[in-house]
Amino acid sequence: MADLNHILKTHGLRTTAIRREVMQYFLNEGKAVSHQDVEGAMPKADRVTLYRTLAALEESGIIHQVIDDDTVKKYALCGTECSGDHHHDNHVHFKCERCNDTVCLEDIKIPHINLPQGYSVDSGNLLLMGTCKSCA
């Protein structure tokens, strides 16, 4: 629990029970999860409080949004380099088509793409889909 408190304080957030509980859930899951997933794991928590908690964790650089082919927004823990000013989530995401888990492949960076003149990139996402090692 001390590490969670340290992470929150390092990112400029007060340590609250719900923030620690949500972060512990992310650590235990080890994959991208939706607001509904978090809510299902914490049925006694208020929906608005969970929404605000996820927003605060994202704004401070503790979690980042993960884009996959679902219409539901998912989140995953950030690496240690992220901050509230800038997320360094320029890595590949992988979605298993069998179990539907989406995970960050932080060691695989999104390659640089040469765009035509006049285009500039603000952010990018790369989602690979297939079978994860647990389902293989």
User: Is 11 assigned to a binding site?
Assistant: no
User: Is 82 assigned to a binding site?
Assistant: no
> Is residue 52 within 8 Å of residue 13, measured between CB atoms?
no
Tell me how far apart the alpha carbons of residues 130 and 67 are, in angstroms, rounded to a whole number. Answer: 15
> Is residue 99 within 8 Å of residue 86, measured between CB atoms?
no
Structure tokens at 87: 């997320």
> Is residue 20 within 8 Å of residue 57, measured between CB atoms?
no
User: Is 135 assigned to a binding site?
Assistant: yes
Q: Binding site for Fe cation: which residues? A: 86
Q: Binding site for Zn(2+): which residues? A: 96, 99, 132, 135
Q: Binding site: which residues? A: 86, 96, 99, 132, 135
